[in-house]
Amino acid sequence: MGDMIATLSGRVSEKISALLVLDVHGMGYGLQVTAEDFGRLNTGESAKLYVHEHIREQSYDLFGFVQLDTKNLFEQLLNVKNVGPKVALAVLDIGNAAAVRGAIAAGDVKLLQSAKGVGKRAAEQIVVELRDKVGAIASDAAEGIVSRPGINTQDEAAQALMSLGYSPQDAMLALQNIDPDLPVEERIRLALKG
């Protein structure tokens, strides 16, 4: 079933426990988001989220993601037998999408099990079903980083952006027009303002 709501753009009106409320022209949509996005989005800020609708007889839940890549991974996880949206979201809280893909591709069941509500069987199931699907993407991403000239992932500002969930490429793009001689904090601030 395709999502009726593909994206939502609005203002973050409030954050209630783990729910983010996005005000879209006066309508408040309650979205479940990853811990990373929850921390990144501040009340009063504008945001655009990619949405996954999860409809069951008793419930209708909206899941929102800042990055389409993360939404795609969430939906791959949902397709795994016995993995529901809560578990899929918990797995995404291990780290950014690249880190989660890396763990699945490497068969790191222990790391996947560290996610809330994920038992050994579920973690093994995720690895079995998704390893081949995410592996290709993970290795392509790694090669892409190595072969691009001018990407210095040792740069402190870039590392800071990456810890906020930026991919190495996005971190470099954000920093490419900023004077490298400025203090690290200033470069991060300018990059985030974008």
- pLDDT tens, residue by residue, 85-98: 999 999 999 888 88
The residue-averaged pLDDT of 167-186 equals 82
Sign of the Cα torsion 26, 30, 36, 42 reads positive
117 within a domain of the structure (yes/no) = yes
2 within a domain of the structure (yes/no) = no
Indicate yes or no: pTM above 0.75.
no
93 within a domain of the structure (yes/no) = yes
Give residue 26's domain range.
Answer: 7-65
Shared domain for 79 and 128, answered yes or no, is yes
151 within a domain of the structure (yes/no) = no
Do 131 and 112 meet the contact criterion of CB atoms below 8 Å apart?
Answer: no
Tens-digit pLDDT profile for residues 113-129: 999 889 999 999 999 99
**E-assigned strand segments in the chain:** 7-16, 19-24, 27-32, 46-55, 60-65
The residue-averaged pLDDT of 102-108 equals 92
